[in-house]
Structure formats: C-alpha cells, structure tokens
Chains A and B, each alone.
Chain A
Amino acid sequence: MKLTAAQIGFIDNYLKNSGINYIDIRYEMVDHIATDLETKFADCEKSVLQDEDFQNYFKVYMAKNKAQFLTSNKQFAKTARMRAFKLILKNIVRPTSLLLTPLLFIILYKAIAMAGLETVKDILHITYTVLLIAVVLFDKINYKTKTEKFSVVDKMISGCLIGIYVVFVFIRPDKIISDSLWLSVYYTLFIAFITTGAITLLLLSAKYKKQYE
C-alpha cells in the first residue's frame, strides 16, 4: 500500500507548520513517517490508504513522535551552521584563495596610495552597502515567493550577514585604524571573507538544487 501525493503533501505541510523549515530535513522526515505508515498498513488489501485511516494513524503517530522530530530538527540546524562555517574556512585556506589574497592586498595598498584613502573607503562602503541590500532583498524575495530553504545555504547567508553587520556597523575598524598599511590588511581580509562566502554560497546552492530537484 502506498500513500497518495496529497497524503504526502499533508505530512510535509504539517511538519512545515510545526517549524521544520528546511526542505532537506523535511524530505527525510516525510519519508520516514510515510514509510512507517505504509509498513504498518502493508497487509491491508486496498492499494491506496483511505484518508480517514491515514488521518487517524497520522494523529496517533505524531502525538507519539513529534518531540523526537523536533529534537532532530534542532540538532540539524546546529550542525548546518557548523557545516556552513567550516565550508567557508575550508575555502579561505585553499591554495587559490591564499594566492589571490596577497594580490588583493597589493591592489588595495596601491589604490590607497594612488587615489587616496577616502576615495577607496567610499568605493568600498558603497560596494558593501549594495551587497548587503542585495543579499537581504534576495532573502526576503525568497521568503515571500516561498522558495524552499536548504539548511546549510540558509545558515551560511544568515552567518555571513551577521558577520558583515557586526564588523561593518558596530566595530567599524576603518574608523579605528588610520595607518594605510593596516587598513589595507583589514580591507583585504574583509573582502576575502565576503568573496569566499559568496562563491561558497553559489556553489553550495547549485549543489543542493542539483541534488534535490
């Protein structure tokens, strides 16, 4: 006996409304519940499970197991954040990144020497602001159009946004550092972090879409 597409959709909706937001874990939970239900009714003569039987079993099943799924979801979100952080770090220490970072430093240092500190600061501030707005808008549009969220991708976006916001709005090292050499170091590290984060995000997004769609 197999569940219908509508019954599968019902389980998915129930989990989503229970706060299990990430599609990658919901797929797994929906499959677990559906397989369990199909196994329990395996000996039934009908080929499709009637909605009434389905609803009754589902209510009992969730009353018994909901807490387990929510625990699993909580742990999953934590693991996803750690995975996102590790992925960025892994990409930062790649040979390509390690070779490009000193190059970026030289470009910035020369740019400050040639165009002046204030001009470089202004250009970078405009770039950061545009990037920040773009990411926030992308996230909002995704939410409004109900695009499904993948755990590690979402945690990476929120982690990078928090990181940029804290450095860019609260710490403001460019206000504290006056020496152009150290300022170039700060800009280099900050740009390297943002660029690596963005590239990792795009690659990861493509990987998840390919894997799940």
Chain B
Amino acid sequence: MKNSPLYKGSLTTIIMKLLEENGRMYGYEITQKVKKTTNGELNITEGALYPALHKLEAEGLLDVEVAKVDNRMRKYYKLTESGKKETVNRLEELEEFIRNMQTLVNPKTNPDLQF
C-alpha cells in the first residue's frame, strides 16, 4: 500500500466498498482489483490487507466462506448484514472527509471560505 496514513486510514472502507460491489472476494482478488482500478497507483500489501480483513471479521462486519479451489483452500469474505449497514456509514463518512479536504486544500471553490 502507498506509504501514506491517508490511504491506511481508508483501507477498511475500500475493502468494504469492494465487497459491497462484488459480493464475495478472496484476499488476492482484492489486491488485484484495487491495483487495476487505480491503474497500479495503490498497491495493498499482504501485511496491510489481511490484518484489516481479520479485524473486520472479528468486528462481525465480514463473514467467511471456505471453498476448495485447485488443490488448496480459499477463504472468501463477504459482508454481513451489519457490515452492509456499516459500509453505507463509512462511505458517507469518507465522502464527507474528501469534501472537507477539498474545501480546505482548494478554498477558491468554496466562496464561504474566502476572506
């Protein structure tokens, strides 16, 4: 993952958003999806992805399904009912954060902040 606290703070929201769109996904699939969507700009490492997934699972926001695929077991993650609700909240929160940041970084677009 890009070495920035800004990205790190949004990792769980990114994961939840992807699961909301795709139903169920496995770890490697999530890393590739993020990489592809951001044209290689954002690269989630194993050391960041799996702890985030396990934390979300422990919080009851994700459910796990295990299936045998090509000589090995694969863990799929999907949102629980409370996970779906939480995704909506976190996305709203992230959007608000982005709006506020844009206003602060680029105040010309917001007449209220012009002195």
Chain A residue at minimum C-beta to C-beta distance from B50: A72
Chain A residue at minimum C-beta to C-beta distance from B47: A68
| B72 with A72: CB separation less than 8 A | no
| B71 with A35: CB separation less than 8 A | no
| A72 with B46: CB separation less than 8 A | yes
| A8 with B58: CB separation less than 8 A | no
Main secondary structure of the interface of A (DSSP, over half): helix
Is A75's beta carbon under 8 Å from chain B? yes
Asked if A75 meets B58 with Cβ closer than 8 Å, knowing A5-B71, A34-B72, A68-B45, the reply is no
Chain B 51-74 residues near chain A, CB threshold 8 A: 51, 54-55, 58, 64, 66, 69-74
| B71 with A28: CB separation less than 8 A | no
| B71 with A2: CB separation less than 8 A | yes
Residues of B within 8 A of A69 (CB): 46-47
CA of A9 to CA of B71 in the docked complex: distance in angstroms?
Answer: 9
Residues of A within 8 A of B28 (CB): 31-32, 35-36
Chain A residue at minimum C-beta to C-beta distance from B69: A31
CA of A79 to CA of B54 in the docked complex: distance in angstroms?
Answer: 7
Chain A residue at minimum C-beta to C-beta distance from B31: A32
CA of A3 to CA of B69 in the docked complex: distance in angstroms?
Answer: 11
Residues of B within 8 A of A4 (CB): 71
Count of residues in B whose CB is under 8 Å from the partner chain: 22
> Which size bracket describes the interface of A in this complex?
20 to 34
Is A67's beta carbon under 8 Å from chain B? yes
Is A120's beta carbon under 8 Å from chain B? no
CA of A33 to CA of B89 in the docked complex: distance in angstroms?
Answer: 33
CA of A212 to CA of B49 in the docked complex: distance in angstroms?
Answer: 21
| A28 with B75: CB separation less than 8 A | yes
Q: Which interface residue of A8, A28, A72 has the most chain B CB atoms within 10 A?
A: A28
Residues of A within 8 A of B64 (CB): 211
A31, A38, A67, A79: the one contacting B75 at CB < 8 Å is A31
Asked if A83 meets B72 with Cβ closer than 8 Å, knowing A67-B47, A76-B50, the reply is no
Chain A residue at minimum C-beta to C-beta distance from B27: A32
CA of A83 to CA of B59 in the docked complex: distance in angstroms?
Answer: 9
Asked if A76 meets B54 with Cβ closer than 8 Å, knowing A31-B28, A71-B47, A211-B64, the reply is yes
B contacts, CB < 8 Å to A: 26-28, 32, 45-47, 49-51, 54-55, 58, 64, 66, 69-75
A contacts, CB < 8 Å to B: 2-5, 8, 24-25, 27-32, 34-36, 38-39, 65, 67-69, 71-72, 75-76, 79, 82-83, 86, 211-212
10 sample A-B contacts, Cβ–Cβ < 8 Å, listed by A number? A3-B72, A28-B50, A28-B75, A30-B73, A31-B27, A34-B72, A38-B70, A79-B54, A79-B55, A86-B58
